[in-house]
Amino acid sequence: MKILAVNPGSTSTKIAVFEDLRPLFEAGVELTDVRRSAFAAVLDQLEMRCALISRALSEAGFAEDAFDAVAGRGGLLAPMPSGTYLVNDAMKDYLTEAPRGEHASNLGAFIAERFAGRSGCRAYIVDPVSVDELSDVARISGAPEIERGSLVHALNQKAMGRKAAAAFGKRYEDCRFVVAHLGTGVTIGAHDRGRIVDVIGAKADGPFSAERAGGLPVDAVVELCYSGKYTLAELRRKLLSGWGIVSYLGTRDLREVLKTAEGDARAKLVLDAYVYQIAKGIGELAAALDGKLDAVILTGGMAHSRELVELVGRKIKFLGKTVVLPGENELESLAAGALRVLRGEERAKIYPTGEYA
Reply yes or no on whether the pLDDT at 234 is more than 70. Answer: yes
Q: What is the pLDDT of residues 192-222, one digit of tens each?
A: 999 999 999 867 689 999 999 999 999 999 9
Parallel, antiparallel or unpaired: strands 186-192 and 176-182: antiparallel
Answer whether 287's CB lies under 8 Å from 279's CB. Answer: no
| Digit-coded pLDDT (tens) for 292-320 | 999 999 999 999 999 999 999 999 999 99
Q: What secondary structure does DSSP assign to 68-86, as a single string?
A: SEEEEE--S-SSB-SSEEE
Angle at 161 between CA 156 and CA 163, to 5 degrees: 95
Prior bond to 352 cis, omega within 30?
A: yes
Q: What percent of the chain has pLDDT over 90?
A: 87
**151 half-sphere exposure, CB direction, 13 A CA radius:** 17
Segment 226-255 shows an average pLDDT of 92
Which amino acid, residue 61?
G
pLDDT over threshold 90, residue 236: no
pLDDT score for 300: 95
Q: Report the length, in residues, of the chain.
A: 357
pLDDT surpasses 80 at 37:
no
| The pLDDT of residue 202 | 64
β-strand pairing of 2-8 with 195-201: unpaired
Picking from 215, 139, 137, 151, the residue whose alpha carbon sits closest to that of residue 189 is 151
pLDDT in tens, 48-68: 999 999 999 999 999 999 999
Closest CA to 109 of 89, 130, 129: 89
Tell me the sheet residues that pair with 72.
6, 125
The reported pLDDT for the residue numbered 313 is 98
78-130, pLDDT tens digit by residue? 999 999 999 999 999 999 999 998 889 999 999 999 999 999 999 999 999 99
- pLDDT of the residue at 40: 79
Burial class (CB in 10 A: 0-12, 13-18, 19+), 262: exposed
pLDDT above 90: residue 46: yes
Cα dihedral angle (49, 53, 56, 60), rounded to 10 degrees?
A: 180
Report which residue type is found at 11.
T
Helix (H, G, I), strand (E, B) or coil at 98: coil
Rounded to whole angstroms, the Cα distance separating 118 from 25 reads 19
> How far is 281 from 275, CA to CA, in rounded Å?
10
Give CA–CA dist 213/203, Å, rounded.
Answer: 8
Write down the mean pLDDT value for the chain: 94
